[in-house]
Amino acid sequence: HSNPEQPAIQGEVPKEIKEPFRTIMLTHDDQWVVAGTTDGHLVIWSLQTFPKGAIVVKAHASIVSSLTADPAGALFYSAGSDGRLVQWKYQGNKFTPTVLDSIADAIRCTAINRAADQLVYATNTGVVKIITFNQGQPGSKVLTRLKSPVLTVKYDDRGETIAAGCLDGSVQLMRQAKNGEVHVQSLIGRHISGVTAVAFNPAGNALTSAGYDWTAKISDYPLTEEKPVTIKNHDLWIYDVLYTPDGKQLITCSADRTIRIFSTLTQQMAEKLTPMIKRNMTVAEWNKMVGEDVPYQKTIENLP
């Protein structure tokens, strides 16, 4: 909904849709809302007729695991547990599919860079592939093979680095040099369980990750020795994170059925979080969140 102050409008779901939704997206031109189901259907609403008039398309043989909007053209991409990556072109009410890849592995996530000339997708076995869109036919290749299933991928604003969140709790940063060599930087210990979401802020100087450990972590980018800021405000795991276009706010959505908005401005964040804190960290929590190499100290003097 474009105005969070107004009541949400629920889309009418066609009767033939029996299975739950797994993923959702909005096309870049704000024309279409597309949702993917666990049995391979796309349900597509025009914003001109929403909440009525949904179009149903059979896209995959099983779970639609990812939907990605093209940032420039009348295109979007779907990926599924059936191992297919599909490009969808839309004109009027017609949606035309082109299969870009079909592999013997479940595709878990996709992302496209801002220039719309490269798309990354990753699998349940940790394979990361890219497709480059040149004037000729799109060409796909394996970028790298990670040791853990990949749950989420994102490009930085320049399209030079890909961040991947993995089931083992790590965040992997991948950059391909001009000579084709791929450099992978592993961030270990950032989360204690699977990383479900990663996001770079629009300015390109912050990286946020979130996961099954109910936390979102914000750090400088490129990475420094500073510990990330930890937000633990949800009651269950976090599904996704998103920066607002001005980068001043971070939006999180969670299995606790809430969507929450946080200021990314340090002082505003501190003012909002401080009243929620009832005690200082224990020594064990300090060692885990801050680090054993940093001497323990109270962060708020008047709290136990």
The pLDDT value recorded for residue 189 is 83
Element (H, E) at 210: strand 206-211
Pair 219, 156 in one domain: yes
Is the residue at 278 inside a domain?
no
How many CB atoms sit inside 10 A of residue 213's CB? 19
Which 3 state secondary structure label does DSSP give 225? Answer: coil
Q: For residue 255, give every residue at least 6 positions away whose Cβ sits within 8 Å of its Cβ, in sequence order, or none.
A: 234, 236, 237, 238, 239
Q: Indicate if 76 and 119 belong to the same structural domain.
A: no
Helices (H), the chain: 266-273, 283-289
- Torsion sign, CA atoms 184, 180, 99, 242: positive
Counting the structural domains of the chain, the total is 2
pLDDT in tens, 104-152: 999 999 999 999 999 999 999 999 999 998 766 778 899 999 999 999 9
Report the pLDDT value the prediction gives residue 248, as an integer from 0 to 100.
Answer: 92
**What are the tens digits of pLDDT across the range 230-242?**
888 899 999 999 9
Residue 71: asked if its preceding bond is cis (omega within 30°), the reply is no
61: in domain: yes
What pLDDT is stored for residue 291 in this prediction? 60
Distance (Å, rounded) from C-alpha 14 to C-alpha 35? 12
Residues 159 and 228 in one domain: yes
209: in domain: yes
48, 151: one domain: no
- In which domain, by residue range, is 86 found? 1-96
Classify residue 186: in a domain, yes or no.
yes
Q: What parts of the chain have a pLDDT lower than 50?
A: 267
Q: What pLDDT, in 10s, does the model give residues 31-58?
A: 999 999 999 999 999 999 999 999 999 9
pLDDT of residue 267: 47
